[in-house]
């Protein structure tokens, strides 16, 4: 019998056992099941989840990364598979994933982990409670994420699975979106410069293997340099050119295809509205006149070639995407967890946020909903001030909110970028999403933070 401590979770799922198993077996399942609050990186992988398949993970532990090699065993098609540790941090590890049928369209996901810590009894004394609590959090989050993904895929289950080309597929949002799509049965072609991509391109040189896009059903364009760095003249040029040139290249290539995609989802941002104090903004609002607004205007205009060729174009005007693996939340969580967090600037500026899972769901909704076109604000329905954001984050984490960061300090550290992003006030509403029937899983900031931080 397996030895050690047992952590188990059972949850009813809205699909058959066979469909639930298929979701776990498709590419991207591990990436979907890896939360931002417990990051892990795949270092090597052979096979899927059948017997003998192996995966080696890199697990951050403070400033170092430890490796963890797992082997899949006990594969029973449509019902069960297991992970066992071959080398790694535990003295013993076995994880049984079991799918039990309840009916034609319902099942139970049963995850059971049996583990033992090294150096007993000292390992249990030092890390026993912490390890158990982390694993219970992990399973609770995984089950909630799996159920949400299955529900969202079920909304469009009657439609054919798509071939989708994606730029920015290795980025903060692209990685998660691609994993969501492939676990839903869609085929993803990754467009990028490096090795391992399916389609080569180099926007700065105007290079794209457009022939590889013939017959794809959709293109999702997310590539662009990060705005979350100090805005030197060189970096501002990179922000603009990486968006404008790449969008021009992809749109013109689409326009020339014999078999064009039905839809182009093209990245954009709510920075296009500029900083507008307390004004309530939606997709019909006028655009701003600062640097990011100018970039956004040019960025969106470059999709014209695809639109003129009859392709439905959606501009994903993205707000602050919440996930501790990247973006603004990744930078804010650490000081709050250390007990030195506080509001940024005066706290009066509005922050229009969206959970990463709702961002993925909104993009998926736009992909399949033919009435959605043009500008779409990817933000939650309840924007908050920076003061409220800080207070809510502190409450969710159970930490103090006592150390505000004054605006002058942010401007000293980050220069123009601070004024254009951190201190900008954008009270943006998701009118297009709401009128087209999109349902937010995390409509309030507290529910979004609790989900993304694994504090359910």
* Per-run averaged pLDDT (10 residues), the chain, 456 residues: 84 98 97 94 93 95 88 97 96 97 95 95 86 97 99 97 97 97 98 89 94 97 94 96 98 98 98 98 98 98 98 99 95 95 98 99 99 99 98 98 96 94 98 98 99 97
Q: Which residues touch 438 (CB under 8 Å, ≥6 apart)?
A: 361, 362, 365, 430
Cβ proximity of 188 and 164 under 8 Å: yes
239's tokens: 């922000």
Give the residues across from 411 on adjacent strands.
Answer: none
3-state secondary structure of 323: strand
Which two tokens mark 227?
């705005």
Q: Which residues of 391-418 are buried (b: 16+ CB within 10 A; e: fewer)?
A: bbbbebbebebeebbebeebbeebeebb
Q: Do residues 217 and 162 touch, judged by C-beta distance below 8 A?
A: yes
> For position 357, what pLDDT does the model report?
98
Q: Is 191 left (phi over 0), alpha (psi -120 to 50) or beta?
A: beta
**Residue 300: how many CA atoms within 13 Å on its side-chain side?**
22
Q: Tell me the domains of the chain and their CATH numbers.
A: 5-118 (3.30.530.20), 163-452 (3.40.50.720)
For residues 164 and 221, is the Cβ–Cβ distance under 8 A?
no
Report CA-CA distances (Å) from 201 to 166, 208, 301: 12, 4, 21
First and final CA of the chain: distance in angstroms? Answer: 32
Contact present, 312 and 368 (Cβ < 8 Å) = no
Please report the pLDDT score of residue 65 as a whole number.
87
The distance of Cα 225 from the centroid of its chain, to the nearest Å, equals 17
């Amino acid at each position: 019998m397996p030895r050690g401590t047992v952590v188990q979770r059972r949850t009813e799922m809205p699909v058959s056992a066979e469909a639930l198993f298929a979701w776990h077996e498709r590419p991207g399942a591990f990436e979907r099941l890896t939360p931002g609050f417990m990051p892990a990186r795949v270092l090597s992988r052979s096979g899927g989840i059948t017997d003998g398949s192996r995966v080696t993970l890199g697990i951050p532990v403070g400033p170092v990364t430890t490796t963890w090699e797992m082997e899949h065993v006990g594969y029973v098609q449509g019902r069960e598979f297991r992970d066992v540790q071959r080398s790694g941090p535990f003295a013993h590890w076995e994880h049984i994933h079991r799918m039990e049928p309840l009916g034609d369209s319902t099942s139970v996901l049963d995850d059971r982990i049996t583990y033992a810590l090294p150096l007993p009894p000292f390992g249990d004394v030092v890390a026993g409670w912490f390890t158990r609590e982390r694993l219970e959090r992990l399973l609770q989050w995984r089950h909630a994420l799996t159920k949400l993904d299955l529900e969202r895929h079920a909304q469009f289950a009657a439609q054919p699975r798509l071939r989708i080309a994606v730029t920015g597929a290795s980025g903060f949002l692209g990685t998660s979106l691609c994993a969501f799509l492939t676990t839903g049965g869609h085929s993803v072609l990754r467009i990028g410069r490096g090795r391992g991509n399916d389609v080569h391109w180099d926007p700065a040189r105007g290079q794209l293997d457009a022939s590889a896009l013939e017959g794809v059903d959709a293109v999702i364009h997310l590539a662009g340099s990060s705005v979350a760095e100090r805005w030197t003249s060189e970096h501002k040029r990179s922000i603009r050119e990486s968006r404008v040139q790449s969008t021009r290249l992809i749109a013109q290539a689409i326009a020339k295809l014999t078999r064009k995609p039905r839809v182009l989802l093209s990245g954009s941002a709510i920075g296009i509205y500029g900083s507008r104090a307390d004004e309530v903004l939606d997709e019909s609002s006028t655009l701003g006149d600062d640097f990011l607004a100018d970039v956004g205007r040019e960025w969106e205009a470059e999709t014209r070639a695809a639109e003129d060729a009859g392709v439905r174009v959606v501009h994903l005007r993205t707000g602050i995407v919440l996930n501790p693996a990247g973006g603004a939340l990744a930078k804010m969580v650490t000081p709050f967890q250390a007990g030195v967090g506080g509001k940024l600037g005066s706290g009066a500026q509005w922050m229009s946020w969206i959970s990463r899972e709702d961002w993925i769901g909104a993009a998926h909704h736009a992909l399949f909903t033919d009435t959605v076109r043009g500008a779409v604000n990817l933000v939650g329905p309840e924007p908050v001030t920076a003061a409220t954001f800080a207070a809510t984050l502190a409450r969710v984490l159970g930490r103090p909110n006592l150390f505000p960061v004054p605006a002058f300090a942010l401007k000293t550290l980050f220069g123009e970028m601070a004024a254009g992003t951190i201190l900008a006030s954008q009270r943006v509403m998701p009118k297009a999403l709401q009128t087209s029937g999109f349902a937010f899983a995390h409509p309030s900031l507290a529910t979004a933070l609790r989900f993304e931080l694994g504090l359910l």
